[in-house]
Amino acid sequence: MSLVERRPVCALRNVSKRFGSISACQDISIELFAGEAVALAGENGAGKSTTAKCLYGFHSPTTGHVEVDGREMTFRSPRDGEAAGIVMIPQELDLFPELSIVENMFMGQQRPRTRFGTFDWRAMKKTAREILARLGLRLDVSQPVHLLSAANCKLIEIARALNRNARVIIMDEPTAALTDREVRRLLSIVRDLKKNGVAIVYITHRLDEIFDVCDRIVVLRDGSLVDDGPVSDFTEGSLVKKMVGRPLESLFTHSPHPIGDVALEVVGLTSEPAFRDISFQVRKGEILGISGLIGAGRSELANALFGLRAYAAGTIAVNERRVRINSVADAFRLGIAYLPEERRSQGLILPFSIQHNITLASLKRFTRLGIVSERGEADFARKAATDFTVSGARIDAAVSVLSGGNQQKVLIAKTLARNPEIIILDEPTRGVDVGAKSEIYRIIDDLARRGCAVILISSELNEVLAMSDRILVMREGVAVRTFERSEFSPEAIGAAAAGQKVLSNVA
C-alpha cells in the first residue's frame, strides 16, 4: 500500500438525526475505505441502525451529510444511496418471497432489454447465475425464494447487492438466523468481498464475529460515537466496557428482599426452533434475569410460559404443582402476567384512554352482575396511575399522547392490575428515557419485595446485572449457564451470550 493518504469511499460527516424531540444519533463521523470492514458496535438503542439508515439514504440526516468519493451527497431515498453504490442488507429478510431469485436480484433496478424492448430474461438469468457462482451457490434462479433456507436467502440479498455494483455493503446482524456452519460460510464471503475492494459496515451483537472479520471498530453509545480504532486496539473485555459505558448504579434500585419458596419451575421446555431443553426455577421474591442476544429465544420462551406459543416437550410447575399452559387464559388463572416486548403492537390499545388500558385485562374486578362499575374502574385507574407515576395526561386521555416511558408505565399498571404472582417482563425499559427507567426499576424492585417472582428479560447488560438475583444466559435457544449474583461480571455474561467459549470448544 502506498504512503499516499487513503481516500474514503464514503463517509458520514458530523451526522445527527432527531425524531421529534428525541435525538437518535449526534455528531457521528465515520470514514469507510475500500476493502475494509468496519464494525458498528453498541448496545440496543445506541443508534447503530439510525446511523446505518442515514448512510444508505433511508433517513436523511437532520444535520451533517454523507460524502461519497469526497463529494457531498443528498440522498432522498434508498434508491439514491444505491445509485451511489451503498446498499443495505437489513436484519429481517427483505426479499419478495413469491418471486424468483432472478426477479429479486433485479427488483428496483435497471434491467437488460432485448432489441424488441422486452426484458431480456436470458441475460438477467445469466447475470444472476454468475453472481451466485461467485458466492459459491448453484441454484435454479427461476425458483421462488420462499423455497430457500434462511442462509441462502441471506446470500441472495448479498447477491442482490453485488448486482447493484455495491461499493459499500451495510450488513445488519447478518448472522442472526444462521447456524454456526452457515455463519462461517458467510464470514468467508465477507472476506472475499473485502479482497475485491468492497467496503463493509458490519453491525452485530456477536463479538467473536467482529474480531474475526472486521478491521476497525466504531463504538456507539447513547447515540454518540465513543471510540473508533483498529481491531487490535480492543479486547473483548474493553469493547464491552466501551459499549456499556458509564456507571449506572445510581439508576437502579436493588434492595434486599426475602426469597421464598419456588414459584415457577421449568424443566426441559422445548419449542423448536426457538428454544430447547430449558430448565430453571424462580422463587417468590426473586428476580431472575434472562440475558442473551436478539434471536436467542428469550421472548419465545416468555411467550411459551404465557400460553402464546405451544411447547412440544418439558414440564412447567407453578407453586410446586405441575401445570399445562395452553392459552393466555391458563396463564392468567395461574397468576402469571407478561409485559410484552413490543408495547405498541402487543401491549397497548393506543386510541383507548389511559384508564381503559389499565383496566382492560382486569375488568372483572369492577363488574357486578355483568355490569362494569365505571366509578370503581376510574378509582382503580387513578390510583394505579399515581402508584406507577404515570404523568403527562389525565387518565381519560388517549394513551397515544403519552411519552414512551409513560406508556410503558401504563402497560405495567395494566399487567399488575390482576395481582399476578409470577411476572415476566420482556425488555421493560426499551425506548424509555432515563427518568422513566429508574422509576420502572423501582417498581420491579418493589414487586420482588412484595413476594412476586419476577423474570426480567433484557438485552441491556447493565440492567440485568443491577436488578437480578440470578442471571440465566441463553444463546441460540439453549440455556448456556446460570450465574449467581456473586459471579456477576459484564465480561463473563457478555462472553456467555456471544458464545466465544462455547464456539471455541466446538471448533
Stretch that binds other proteins, among 189-197, 209-217, 461-469, 493-501 (CB under 8 A): 189-197
Is 123 a residue that touches other proteins (CB under 8 A)?
no
Task: Pick the closer one to other proteins by CB: 85 or 335.
Answer: 85
Is 309 a residue that touches other proteins (CB under 8 A)?
no
Task: Pick the closer one to other proteins by CB: 66 or 417.
Answer: 66
Task: Pick the closer one to other proteins by CB: 141 or 334.
Answer: 141
Is 327 a residue that touches other proteins (CB under 8 A)?
no
Is 126 a residue that touches other proteins (CB under 8 A)?
no
Is 266 a residue that touches other proteins (CB under 8 A)?
no
Bridge-based pairing state of the strands 86-89 and 262-271: unpaired
Query: What's the CA gap between 454 and 424, in Å, rounded?
Result: 6
Question: For the sheet containing 216-221, what is the strand order?
Answer: 86-89, 168-172, 199-203, 37-41, 216-221, 224-230
Q: Which residues pair with 73 in a beta bridge?
A: 66
Is 181 a residue that touches other proteins (CB under 8 A)?
yes
Query: What's the CA gap between 399 and 408, in Å, rounded?
Result: 10
Element (H, E) at 122: helix 121-134
* The C-alpha cell that represents 284 in the structure block: 417468590
- What beta strand segments (E) does 37-179 contain? 37-41, 63-68, 71-73, 86-89, 168-172
Query: Helix or strand or coil: residue 420?
Result: coil
Out of 11, 54, 148, 497, the residue judged to bind other proteins by CB under 8 A = 148
Is 74 a residue that touches other proteins (CB under 8 A)?
no
Q: How far is the CB of 112 from other proteins (least distance, A)?
A: 11
Task: Pick the closer one to other proteins by CB: 60 or 373.
Answer: 60
Residue bearing cell 406507577: 388
Half-sphere exposure (Cβ direction) of 342: Cα atoms closer than 13 Å: 6
Task: Pick the closer one to other proteins by CB: 144 or 376.
Answer: 144
Dihedral pair phi/psi, residue 264, rounded to 5°:
-140, 130
Is 184 a residue that touches other proteins (CB under 8 A)?
yes
Stretch that binds other proteins, among 98-106, 389-397, 439-447, 476-484 (CB under 8 A): 98-106
Out of 69, 140, 277, 342, the residue judged to bind other proteins by CB under 8 A = 140
Is 107 a residue that touches other proteins (CB under 8 A)?
yes
Query: Helix or strand or coil: residue 61?
Result: coil
Q: How far is the CB of 452 from other proteins (least distance, A)?
A: 38
Is 59 a residue that touches other proteins (CB under 8 A)?
no
Q: How far is the CB of 37 from other proteins (least distance, A)?
A: 15
Q: How far is the CB of 69 from other proteins (least distance, A)?
A: 14
Query: What's the CA gap between 350 and 406, in Å, rounded?
Result: 13
Out of 14, 63, 149, 367, the residue judged to bind other proteins by CB under 8 A = 149
Task: Pick the closer one to other proteins by CB: 63 or 74.
Answer: 74
Task: Pick the closer one to other proteins by CB: 133 or 360.
Answer: 133
Dihedral pair phi/psi, residue 266, rounded to 5°:
-120, 130
Residue bearing cell 448486482: 163
Cα 503 to Cα 53, 250, 262, 297, 380: the distances in Å are 31, 36, 33, 18, 52
* The C-alpha cell that represents 152 in the structure block: 441462502
Residues 366 and 377 sit within 8 Å (Cβ to Cβ): yes
Residue ranges binding other proteins (CB under 8 A): 57-58, 77-80, 82, 88, 90, 92, 94-99, 103, 107-108, 111, 117-119, 121, 130, 133-140, 143-144, 146-149, 151-152, 155, 162, 165, 167, 181-182, 184-185, 188, 192-193, 196-198
